[in-house]
Amino acid sequence: MLAWIYLAGAIGCEIIATSALKAADGFTKPLPTAIVVLGYVASFYCLSVVLRSIPMGVAYAIWSGIGIVLISIIGLVVYKQRLDAPALAAIGLIIAGTLVINLLSKAGHS
């Protein structure tokens, strides 16, 4: 159970860092740049703890899949970035894959 909490933390930190990456404007703005660095360090630390008990492929698939979906939503809401139908379909497939890993695969439950 603790591994899943750390995975949620890794995802949250990665979302914050990636969102700040756009605001850092090529690392020319100090505060967003600091948020990027700290967010990614915290995210990878949490992910390294997760890998003690959740298989690497499963953890990474969930981490990156949920991250892609949430960053796409943040891009839409905060930065007004629109996605076309193929991009939305691909994100739907990512969600489906994450659900299959969590609900149907024994690999996701160690």
pLDDT over threshold 90, residue 99 = no
In this prediction, residues 53-60 reach a mean pLDDT of 89
Ranking 32-36, 79-83, 103-107 by mean pLDDT, the lowest is 103-107
Residue 108 has pLDDT above 80, yes or no: no
pLDDT mean over 21-44: 96
Longest dimension (CA), the chain: 45
Mean pLDDT of 62-84: 91
What number is the average pLDDT over the span 39-51? 97
Q: Is the pTM of this model over 0.85?
A: no
Q: Say if CB 68 and CB 95 are below 8 A apart.
A: no
Q: What is residue 12's predicted lDDT score, i.e. its pLDDT?
A: 97
Q: How far is CA 37 from CA 50, 64, 103, in A?
A: 20, 18, 33
Structure tokens at 86: 């193929």
Scanning the structure block, which residue is given the tokens 């991009």? 87
The Cα–Cα gap between 37 and 20 comes to: 9
Q: Is 53 helix (H, G, I), strand (E, B) or coil?
A: coil
Indicate whether 27 pLDDT > 90.
yes
Q: What is the helix, strand, coil percentage profile of the chain, to 5?
A: 80, 0, 20
